Amino acid sequence: MKNKHKVTSLTAIASVIITIFSTKGGAAQSEMSNPEQPDANSAAVMEYNPDFIRGGGVDVARFKEGNPVTAGVYNVLVTVNGERRGKYDVHFNELSTADNALAAFTLQELQAIGIKIDETTKPGLKKQAMVIADKRFTIQELIDKSHVYYNQSDFELDITVPQANQIVFPRGYTDPSRWDSGETVGYLDYNANIYSTYNASSHYSDPNNDYTSTVSFLGGLNLLDWRLRKRTNLNWAKNDGGMKTDNLYTYAAKDITAFKSQFLIGDSNTNGEVFDSFNLRGAQLTSDDRMLPEGLRNYSPIVRGVADTNAKVTIMQHGQKIYETVVPPGQFELSDIGAMGYGGDLQMTITEADGRQKFTTIPFSAPPMLLHQGVTRFSIALGELRDDVLRDLPKILQGTVRYGLKNRLTVYGGAQFGEFYQSLAIGNAINTIIGGFSIDMTRARSKLGDEGTKWGNSYKIAYSKYLDQTNTNMTIAAYRYSSEGYYSLRDASIEREGYRHDDYLGSSYRAKQSFSVTVSQALWSNSSLDISGTYYNYWDDRGTAKQYSITYNQALDNFSYSLSALRNSDEDGNYENTVLVSVNVPFGRSSADRPLFDSLYTSYSNSNKGNEQFSTNLSGSRGPQDEVNYGMGTSFANADSEGSHDAFSGYVNYRSPIGQYGLTGSVDNRESSQVSFSASGSVVAHKGGVTLGPQLGEYPFAIIGAKGAKGATIINGNGAKIDGRGYAIMPSLTPYRENQINVSTKGLPDTVDVLENEKIVVPRMGAAIGVDMKTLVGVPVVLILRDQNNEFLPIGTEIVDDNNVSQSVIGQGGMAFVRGWDPLTQNLYAHINKDKCKISPQQGQPLSTAVASNSITQLEAICVR
């Protein structure tokens, strides 16, 4: 971030005082164009009557044309014809035609804020500005009938121009020139889980004591416009061969702004929009919709489930572990699993404290393919298929493109060229009154070794519709492989390798047909009905897998409840029907007399296989920002095959400024127990040193500097606070959008003043943005200022430093407030009309302090010309 010249709040306060005593007043600069007299750019003349102010002379000459603006660069909020354009660094230049410094722009800067210059408007000035790229003009010099109003107190610049000179941007547009690549930094993200179970029940042949631990590291380096990332998992299990290392991916990436895309070298995933997603080691150039004003966000599934105990939840995709956490008993929802790519079914494993495991497959694919008219999405990938199942990694070149041909029609297609595999896909998506459809066909040729060459077709159709009349959201996706000879790239590679190495894996893993449906219906009195189902049909001898569920939810004044019915059947014909009832009761979380626990959650489930579960859990939180959350509960379970058991569990989590820590534990009547510990956070090395912070992930983050403001809280900063060295880390910024950074000064001592506690940044993906908040540290000093004739300096006199930066404005009795002034090392000056005098403490007066009241020092000084 560049250093910016800002007017302090003291100046604004003093200006208000002056205005109170005026006969006519104005608190902001106003600039109006005049075709006949271009230099008439100042505010209307203000007439002040100093006789209303007693106790000394009054210097009001500098306020005769409003609150004067000092020349410099100001970070201001710009609006054009009432439309917010964002915060920009605007130059205010001193002109010979005005006493105030006026806002001035280059033609490129005007283009960025949405203003264009007509060929017929001021042709001489326009030509001159085009020759000298960095030459700045006031808007009035370039555009007739324009108006500029600057509000100094709020740092807002309001510009009005004729409609013909306004550039109309799409809603949500952010100028790419504001996208910030950030600083050169290195960081290490960590997420550690230690999980221990002990089972001594007679149900087991021998007592079982198991320890597992997983530490996930994400290393990052931002250098110039590049970002390097490497994710590694360290897994250790007592009963599974000790330590194992999984290198999930390594890549380097950068923005290609001109194409609104990302260029990536290394390990990645192809998108699943046209072809099935697969792991790639190579290079990709792929459109990034986050760069578009209202682009579609990448789709990521929300994973839901039910845990009977303090359970470990593991999410796998493409055979790799992508997420692992520990959840308390009851229903859970995971929305930050970070699924890789745009598609590929997820496999969820819930490992209970007593060792039981439950498995669920979550379908994951891209939504229907519609784009706005004129929008293009593309992807080019070159490299080799990366899969743990394969020994020989086939080379592949893939290209896909989507184009919004019309407002309701998008066409798309793609091609894959490999050593032993080729495919071609075409399709279109259309928006109709009955919903959005996408239909496509893929033709593939696969060389499978001893099986020869296979040709096949795959047809896919997707549909979605939201019914406004009934508040029904319906999504249907059906995939049908119409011929037995169709193979995806991954399926063909596995099949071919099986024949080559005599370890045939079998084509029965290929789906012949799959169908999924999800319907969400809003009902009466804050209630809803959700219906979902999936159907898989496979080639060869595998059976059909089906999953159905229906859930009714309702939120009442004092509690909410849910009723669910589920049916699961696998390929072997086994099935299970389950009913689930749950109730959630809040305990007045926002009341003044806050209880120990915030809510009560209880649930009951039963299935046709004799599995019965009843649990009750209490949860609560403490701290100004709920830094500590905790819970405890009991459960009863009965299974025909295992008998019954009771359990007691508890957990506590603490979110600190430098990370999050958690502890869980449980015991049951089978002499089984579970204990786990988790810790997550980050270590960031930057130009100011090394700073600890919360977990960062791969999204942009801010390194906030506020020297001397130790303990200041970052608002919405995930618990971040300014440390003793003056830094804090704020995670999870939104790329290519405005992000507001706020520092709360609550609780800071009187010796610290945060002059800038709010800034707006627009980061690129993965950027580390340095945000310097201007602070002033030192003992507050009230100066009593006199001239060489022992007369108080006039009210309204401005005090500046060596850099001509305003420090204060004199009030009645010659008093002015400054902070941390050291007369031995710092100079202060007073501007009286157009003269300047230097402020010096009176002789014989101690320089460190005169009359002290609490933490405020009073010091008498004289101003020498």
Q: What per-residue confidence (pLDDT) applies to 16? A: 38
Angle at 546 between CA 543 and CA 547, to 5 degrees: 155
Residue 375 sits at φ, ψ, to 5 deg, of -85, 135
Residue 633 domain-assigned (yes or no): no
Residue 418 pairs in a beta bridge with 396
Distance CA 611, CA 254 (A): 52
Q: What per-residue confidence (pLDDT) applies to 378? A: 95
Are residues 812 and 757 part of one domain? no
Say if CB 787 and CB 793 are below 8 A apart: yes
Q: What per-residue confidence (pLDDT) applies to 436? A: 78
Are residues 171 and 63 part of one domain? yes
Residue in this structure with the two tokens 């490299």, named with its chain if needed: 383
Are residues 173 and 70 part of one domain? yes
Are residues 762 and 784 part of one domain? no
Residue 180 sits at φ, ψ, to 5 deg, of -105, 125
Residues in Cβ contact with 826 at an 8 Å cutoff, skipping those fewer than 6 apart: 801, 802
Domain-terminating residue out of 152, 178, 204: 178
Hey, which bits of 368-434 come out as E strands? Answer: 376-385, 395-406, 409-418, 421-432
Domain-terminating residue out of 734, 752, 776: 776
Distance CA 349, CA 354 (A): 14
Distance CA 290, CA 255 (A): 11
Instruction: Give just the sign of the alpha carbon dihedral 524, 525, 527, 528.
Output: positive
How does pLDDT run across 55-112, given as a tens digit for each residue?
455 555 555 555 677 778 888 889 998 888 888 889 988 765 556 788 999 888 888 8
With a cut of 50, which residues of the chain have pLDDT below it? Answer: 1-45, 55, 202-205, 296, 298-299, 342-343, 365-366, 507-508, 844, 847-853
Residue 21, Cβ density class (10 Å: 0-12 exposed, 13-18 middle, ≥19 buried):
middle
Are residues 133 and 67 part of one domain? yes
SS3 4: coil
Domain-terminating residue out of 776, 800, 828: 776
Are residues 786 and 711 part of one domain? no
Residue in this structure with the two tokens 């109003």, named with its chain if needed: 149
Q: What per-residue confidence (pLDDT) applies to 705? A: 94
Are residues 763 and 803 part of one domain? no
CATH of the domain at 170: 3.10.20.410
Residue 443 domain-assigned (yes or no): no
Residue 642 domain-assigned (yes or no): no
Amino acid, single-letter form, for residue 188: L
Residue 420 domain-assigned (yes or no): no
Total structural domains within the chain: 3
Number of C-beta neighbours around residue 852 at 10 A: 12
Host domain of residue 749 = 687-776
Are residues 831 and 720 part of one domain? no
Residues in Cβ contact with 326 at an 8 Å cutoff, skipping those fewer than 6 apart: 193, 195, 310, 311, 312, 313, 662, 664, 676, 678
Q: Which two tokens stand for residue 266?
A: 């290394």
Amino acid, single-letter form, for residue 296: L
Distance CA 307, CA 286 (A): 38
Residue 401 domain-assigned (yes or no): no
Amino acid, single-letter form, for residue 460: K
Hey, which bits of 386-510 come out as E strands? Answer: 395-406, 409-418, 421-432, 435-447, 453-467, 472-480
Residue 340 domain-assigned (yes or no): no
Cα end-to-end span (Å), the chain = 38
SS3 549: strand
How does pLDDT run across 832-850, given as a tens digit for each residue?
877 889 998 876 455 444 3
Say if CB 788 and CB 865 are below 8 A apart: yes
CATH of the domain at 796: 2.60.40.2070
Q: What per-residue confidence (pLDDT) applies to 411? A: 95
Say if CB 234 and CB 217 are below 8 A apart: yes
CA 630 to chain centre: 26
SS3 62: helix
Distance CA 328, CA 676 (A): 11
Residue 713 pairs in a beta bridge with 721, 744
Number of C-beta neighbours around residue 206 at 10 A: 7
Residue 245 domain-assigned (yes or no): no
The HSE-up count of residue 28 (CA atoms within 13 Å, CB side) is: 14
Are residues 144 and 98 part of one domain? yes
Are residues 809 and 841 part of one domain? yes
- Reported as type and span, the H/E element at residue 499 is helix 489-500
Are residues 797 and 730 part of one domain? no
